[in-house]
Amino acid sequence: MRTAVIVLRKDLRLEMRTWETVPAMVLFAIVTFVIFHFGLNRTTIDGQLAAGVLVVTLLFAAMLGVNRLFVAEREQGGFDAFLLAPVDRTALLVAKASALFVFLVVLEVVAVPAFGLFLLGPSLGHALPGLILLLALANLALSVIGTFVSAIAVHTRARDLIGPMLGLPLLVPALIATARGAGPLLAASHASSTPPGKWLLILALYDVVFGLIAYAVFDFLLEE
């Protein structure tokens, strides 16, 4: 845990120094909302359509972060430096997943209110607590899978392609659960202020299973 905190602090410091990842994610999400606004030819959307638009936009914006997650390690020798240190290698998984989680939270702090402002019909207020819970579990899934596939992709030449190609199919169950859980929250009738428990449970289970798989095999992904 101590090593993960050391690497996480370094990653956050690097991002605050360069602003190479989070602004790109935020800008991508805002532009996508604008494109949906014109593409759907609708002033406002609600219910399952709104949930789908929000979740898909966040997922694609997250992929920008996933693709950049290990760039500094690869291009500036961070991998070698880390592997030469007498530390538990899975600390890198925890650190990178935590960094991606933080990036996603920052993205959502900007993108979700923007979505409420530009596209969503019903007010966001009543749905917010449930949406936060749902997005926290979805972020965990994105962070773990994103770190996992990014660690695979970074050793390949076509890493910008491999990340989404591997990550998106793996994330389909999490995407379904998040979108289906968010649908009732964003309904025009304000039918529910909490997401259905079934989808929360599926997301939580997904997080646990893929977290354990990533933890078990991550060490081998670092081998050259």
Partner 1 sequence: MSVVSGRPAIELRAVARYFGERTALRDVSVTVATGATLAVLGRNGAGKTTLLRILASLLRPHEGEVHLLGEPVPARAHLVRGQLGLLGHEPLLYRDLSGRENLQYHARLHRIEPERVEEVLAAVQMERRASDPVRLLSRGMTQRLAVARAVLHRPRLLLLDEPRANLDPAASVLIEPLIGRDSGCTRVLTSHDPRAALAEADVVLALKDGRPAFVGDPAQFGEEQLGALYA
Please state, in angstroms and rounded to a whole number, the distance separating the CA atoms of residues 223 and 212. Answer: 19
Q: Say whether residue 18 binds partner 1 (CB under 8 A).
A: yes
For residues 72 and 105, which CB has a smaller minimum distance to partner 1 in the complex?
72
Task: Find the shortest distance in angstroms from Cβ 98 to partner 1.
Answer: 16
Strand, helix or coil for residue 220 = helix
Sign of the four-CA dihedral 61, 219, 206, 2: negative
Q: Say whether residue 14 binds partner 1 (CB under 8 A).
A: yes
The 124-163 contact track toward partner 1, x by CB under 8 A, reads ----------------------------------------
- Three-state SS for 6-34 is HHHHHHHHHHHHHCCCHHHHHHHHHHHHH
Task: Find the shortest distance in angstroms from Cβ 19 to partner 1.
Answer: 10
| Contact criterion met (CB below 8 Å) for 48 and 132 | no
Strands (E), 118-218: none
Nearest C-alpha neighbor of 8 from the set 94, 80, 127, 107 = 94
Q: Say whether residue 219 binds partner 1 (CB under 8 A).
A: no
Of 6, 106, 176, 204, the one binding partner 1 (CB under 8 A) is 6
State the residue for tokens 């805002």: 30
Please state, in angstroms and rounded to a whole number, the distance separating the CA atoms of residues 123 and 131. Answer: 13
Question: Which one of the spans 38-46, 76-84, 151-159, 202-210 is the region binding partner 1 (CB under 8 A)?
Answer: 76-84
Please state, in angstroms and rounded to a whole number, the distance separating the CA atoms of residues 185 and 175. Answer: 16
- β-bridge mates for residue 120, sequence order: 45
Task: Find the shortest distance in angstroms from Cβ 96 to partner 1.
Answer: 15
# of chain residues touching partner 1 (CB under 8 A):
21
C-alpha 38 chain-centroid distance: 25
Task: Find the shortest distance in angstroms from Cβ 20 to partner 1.
Answer: 9
Question: Which one of the spans 72-80, 127-135, 174-182, 208-216 is the region binding partner 1 (CB under 8 A)?
Answer: 72-80
Of 81, 172, 201, 209, the one binding partner 1 (CB under 8 A) is 81
Positions touching partner 1 (CB under 8 A) are 3, 6, 10, 13-14, 17-18, 72, 76-78, 80-87, 223-224
